[in-house]
Structure 1
């Protein structure tokens, strides 16, 4: 796990001007740093040494008499198998690192090497002969690549902070991205909050020529291309889990596991413990007074049963409040997931214990129907498909034609109508507006209260100036359901969740909170071979109606106690009402008198009303706090003065 950055330009590159960027990526790779440059390209790298700890594994790394040069973030879990295959093909190696194997794979197979890779990765490879720069991101999007380009220069980096340090000017806020953030609690990729800065999407690559900087990402993998698979789901999934856990344990440094006491992390811990060459340590979080959301007792009991040393950290709201600007800054993007502090703290605890690699159960909910809202949206989509949407909309279409809609609007705004009935009418009218104008995304609007709240608040929260900057509104476009794939609704919904919630919230959170403590997090449940198996089995026989995570439960029932398998999902879920109240007390004035209000985005009295009624508006209140703190910490950089003159002694 590392930090990468680079600049490709049609003019001369001054590499000494880039050293400050490596300072900003130091937390991603504190073990070493390096750079490589020619007349049109600069590449930088900060190393977190995991495999082959010798200097032979340092980057940027060259290959084949300096024809190829790479800067690479991630791990190729099957590097030993690929190394053997490439040795048979005549390649030679001077290190035992997965980086050199990746370079040889590209030299041998070109862009087709991506089909061979099993792991998580974000990398750039320069070909000195062809004058091309090849960038790629892993299938799920565990590792990030931000980029910005114009006709003459292409910039990229692992983190937004580092990319901003490369750019000549800081881009302005993207109004559409801000609107999306207030609906989703994150900015769906490939957008970022800043105009012109994008992320290379998961399962995509770029091939740039030094004389032609046209940026055209190409997808190399998706769920639609997976073929049906027949067989016993429980046994096949168990066999694949055994293999992927063994692969993700490959490390030359200590490994731990994040253990919440639930099914996903419990399955990983149970399968990893007997395979790990050393003693696998477990790490968890808890809360003062051990409220209902505290799962330390269950996590500790499972760790004891598995023979794992158990480590815990208790999270206090006072500490969160003090640390909050640093937490938001470490996330790089504005992500209004209240669980971020728990993830950060458990990774920090592990790093303090000397752990450099952590296994996590992230991805199990997205792959095995762990969310009620995803299951409900899938069922609703299937219902819409079967009825061709006509019958579900006929009432509202007739209401329009008979001019009943204005009457409903008057009733909705009349103080003489009971509040509960007004609220019901408002929701029905909003449902109708979404269903008629955006029928392929309306299913998620109906399921997630956060979407409805954002849609309802925008007319009063947004200033006229902000609204004028927005195109015709379709905030649900990232959840578009393509009609041509409605014969495979479950897997299409899974792909949409992978491309939005999973990559932009869960994986971004997991990468940033672990890297902030210079620790690598590995996600066995997002191994692409496991994903292909589950989706292939699902294309043959659906598991949607069998209950949450039915196949996964059957696959690991013999290694986990029944109370773990059947326990409702929680994860690192905090006492969020108390936390948001504490954050509002400290940072509410930041929002009311903040940059975003003064820049003309939001109406101050509307924000004050939301704050006064914060218990009814928890999600929106937290999003507004995160957004303002993010702007100050990342764009204005109030929380930290970057020392651009600091020298890197190990470059």
Structure 2
């Protein structure tokens, strides 16, 4: 639902209504139904609405209290708004709409900053409290909804909003490339720092709120944590708790005054959500020419038939994917090379023809332990019975031998989880990334500089829990949820994630580690719980992810030449040893090595950089246009 942009006015005399209108136009895809502006001597706020709950004009934003001294702009959904509304009515508050937005307005008046502890939902919002001269800005606990802010301006303006691109039209904003962001990106495949690829532009971390008072950022505070605290309940109790809590979450997430559908692959996560929701339609995407290798749409169709749901599916070609890539990266705001962003873009486009809201299965892997990384290896468990000192000595000897599966095993066996696991995504080897970069871009933080602060929060947990906690706080908001939000909102569709619910997380925190991951399976208890709703074939199917045939595309002459042109472009030489890039590309093209992810990650960055720093005037002219118009601007 929606998007917003706002700023605390700086010292330069500006036409704030004209400026905020231009800024709002860059995110019209987030809210095509209506727009609204608040402008006064201190604060300027803009809002674009995608109408989901209470479709009347009275629910449009900015929203004001009766006195007009509290102003709200809000992106997201509050799923417990009816309960909160009843509490506030009992306290004497009068509501003029049936929207969830108004709960935030009166909730702040009653509870102040403590409001965030009462919210169950996905959200990013700003409340302008005129009487106390402060802006209260908050983001949901998982980071489902994005929220950026910056003080990197020429006149003291503080800008905040749903998308970075909306900062660009402000005349005081200083658009600068962040040299430190590229090094970790190559390994993580996404922007892994709080500071973004735009210098001085930051993400408000999930589960945090920020206070701006007297035109200064005075507080950034964490209000919710996702640390596990496992109990000793039986497997039967765990399964019963999962069934009850997930079913209740799906029920809460289907509240809407518009049509709701479901994304559906062949895996357990989206299948479980679809089985509980039972929408009229489900939506799936595959790849033309690779149906046998990269296709779960048949599985989605089979389950839809079993559930009595109509399945809509689309096959996407390599040409469509490459053509759409600049548009995809423009919507992402920062380079993001997770290949699944591409099919997700087309999946959202497909769903938007029929519905405005979709439910999806993101988050189950991080909460319930679904990644193969988490699963203990029987061989490694036996090897780790040797003293660590002995294993380190063996690893040192293995380091002098040629790399192979055996030496990698011996070296891994001498590492702690903090040393060997940096998150679900690992693309470029860190040493290779360092060597391919020009010196000015080698100064960014190492991957362990980024992960160690998160690991430091859970020093006493077991290895599985540590890995889950890292992914919940890094990979999930930085990659999974960001692309889910940006790719769905690119097509003016709201994506909801019932597994990433406050009540689900509070329940999951107590699940014993062996019920999450064990030698038998990943997501062990969740799979058992899903058997009540799904055929065993779906409940127990191994995780496939969202496979994309990039390695095959890059061995076609047409796309090899397209990427080579980008690798040898003059602006690429600013960042990379381009001769080394072409060496990787040629080796992959000839089938000598699979460097597809290395190549794709660099290529995506160059496409993104071209959009925002080379041909940025062309892209900023797109403000106010819809996504289908933008798709024609894809000549890279």
- TM-score for both structures, normalised by structure 1: 0.87
In the alignment, which of 157, 160, 167 is matched to residue 163 of structure 1? 167
In the alignment, which of 195, 198, 202 is matched to residue 198 of structure 1? 202
Which one is further off, 240-249 or 492-501? 492-501
Paired residues in the alignment total 611
**Residues 210 and 220 in structure 2, CA contact (< 8 A), matched pair in contact too:** yes
**Residues 54 and 257 in structure 2, CA contact (< 8 A), matched pair in contact too:** yes
Aligned to 2:361: 361
Distance 1:555 1:426, change over 3 A: closer
Q: What is the correspondence of 1:165-180 to structure 2 with a 5 Å cutoff?
A: 165-166=169-170, 168-180=172-184
Aligned to 1:223: 226
1:288 and 2:279 aligned? no
The offset of 1:81, in angstroms, is 1.3
Which one is further off, 628-637 or 508-517? 628-637
Q: Please state which structure has a larger fraction of its residues in helix.
A: 1
Aligned to 1:334: 335
**Residues 377 and 443 in structure 1, CA contact (< 8 A), matched pair in contact too:** no
1:258 and 2:263 aligned? yes
In the alignment, which of 205, 212, 217 is matched to residue 208 of structure 1? 212
Distance 1:476 1:346, change over 3 A: same
**Residues 228 and 510 in structure 2, CA contact (< 8 A), matched pair in contact too:** no
The offset of 1:486, in angstroms, is 2.0
Q: Deviations over 1:509-556 (max 9, x none)?
A: 100110000000000011121011011123797654452111111112
The offset of 1:59, in angstroms, is 0.6
Which one is further off, 454-463 or 107-116? 454-463
Equivalent-residue separation in structure 1 for 2:298 and 2:173 (angstroms): 51
The offset of 1:361, in angstroms, is 0.6
Q: What is the correspondence of 1:454-603 to structure 2 with a 5 Å cutoff?
A: 454-467=429-442, 470=443, 474-480=446-452, 481-482=455-456, 485-538=459-512, 543-581=517-555, 583-597=559-573, 599=574, 601-603=575-577
SS, match of residue 294 in structure 1: coil
- What is the RMSD of the two structures over their aligned residues, measured on CA atoms? 3.1
Aligned to 2:27: 25
Aligned to 1:7: 7
Equivalent-residue separation in structure 2 for 1:645 and 1:616 (angstroms): 39
Distance 1:579 1:330, change over 3 A: farther
Equivalent-residue separation in structure 1 for 2:110 and 2:408 (angstroms): 58
Unmatched 5+ residue regions in structure 2? 627-636
**Residues 244 and 524 in structure 1, CA contact (< 8 A), matched pair in contact too:** yes
**Residues 70 and 105 in structure 2, CA contact (< 8 A), matched pair in contact too:** yes
Aligned to 2:65: 63
Equivalent-residue separation in structure 2 for 1:170 and 1:542 (angstroms): 46
In the alignment, which of 82, 98, 101 is matched to residue 99 of structure 1? 101
**Residues 326 and 639 in structure 1, CA contact (< 8 A), matched pair in contact too:** no
The offset of 1:579, in angstroms, is 3.2
**Residues 611 and 619 in structure 2, CA contact (< 8 A), matched pair in contact too:** no
The offset of 1:224, in angstroms, is 2.8
Q: Deviations over 1:284-316 (max 9, x none)?
A: 012224223211111111101111111011111
Equivalent-residue separation in structure 1 for 2:362 and 2:125 (angstroms): 22
The offset of 1:368, in angstroms, is 1.7
**Residues 516 and 523 in structure 2, CA contact (< 8 A), matched pair in contact too:** no
Equivalent-residue separation in structure 1 for 2:567 and 2:174 (angstroms): 22
**Residues 347 and 517 in structure 1, CA contact (< 8 A), matched pair in contact too:** yes
**Residues 357 and 520 in structure 1, CA contact (< 8 A), matched pair in contact too:** yes
Distance 1:298 1:53, change over 3 A: same
Q: What is the correspondence of 1:149-160 to structure 2 with a 5 Å cutoff?
A: 149=151, 152-160=156-164
Aligned to 2:607: 629
Equivalent-residue separation in structure 2 for 1:424 and 1:494 (angstroms): 25
**Residues 321 and 586 in structure 1, CA contact (< 8 A), matched pair in contact too:** no
Unmatched 5+ residue regions in structure 1? 274-278, 413-420
1:242 and 2:274 aligned? no
Equivalent-residue separation in structure 1 for 2:409 and 2:519 (angstroms): 28
Q: Deviations over 1:360-399 (max 9, x none)?
A: 0111111122111233599989998x989544434567x7
Aligned to 2:190: 186
Equivalent-residue separation in structure 2 for 1:310 and 1:119 (angstroms): 28
Distance 1:396 1:322, change over 3 A: closer
Equivalent-residue separation in structure 2 for 1:579 and 1:639 (angstroms): 30
Distance 1:37 1:474, change over 3 A: same
SS, match of residue 429 in structure 2: helix
Equivalent-residue separation in structure 1 for 2:166 and 2:553 (angstroms): 30
Aligned to 1:415: none
**Residues 184 and 191 in structure 2, CA contact (< 8 A), matched pair in contact too:** yes
The offset of 1:51, in angstroms, is 0.3
Equivalent-residue separation in structure 2 for 1:106 and 1:338 (angstroms): 40
Equivalent-residue separation in structure 1 for 2:420 and 2:382 (angstroms): 10
The offset of 1:261, in angstroms, is 2.0
Distance 1:67 1:377, change over 3 A: farther
Distance 1:210 1:449, change over 3 A: closer
**Residues 147 and 160 in structure 2, CA contact (< 8 A), matched pair in contact too:** yes
**Residues 88 and 107 in structure 2, CA contact (< 8 A), matched pair in contact too:** yes
Equivalent-residue separation in structure 2 for 1:559 and 1:478 (angstroms): 40
**Residues 228 and 465 in structure 2, CA contact (< 8 A), matched pair in contact too:** no
The offset of 1:97, in angstroms, is 0.4
Equivalent-residue separation in structure 1 for 2:104 and 2:477 (angstroms): 23
- TM-score for both structures, normalised by structure 2: 0.89
In the alignment, which of 609, 620, 631 is matched to residue 598 of structure 2? 620
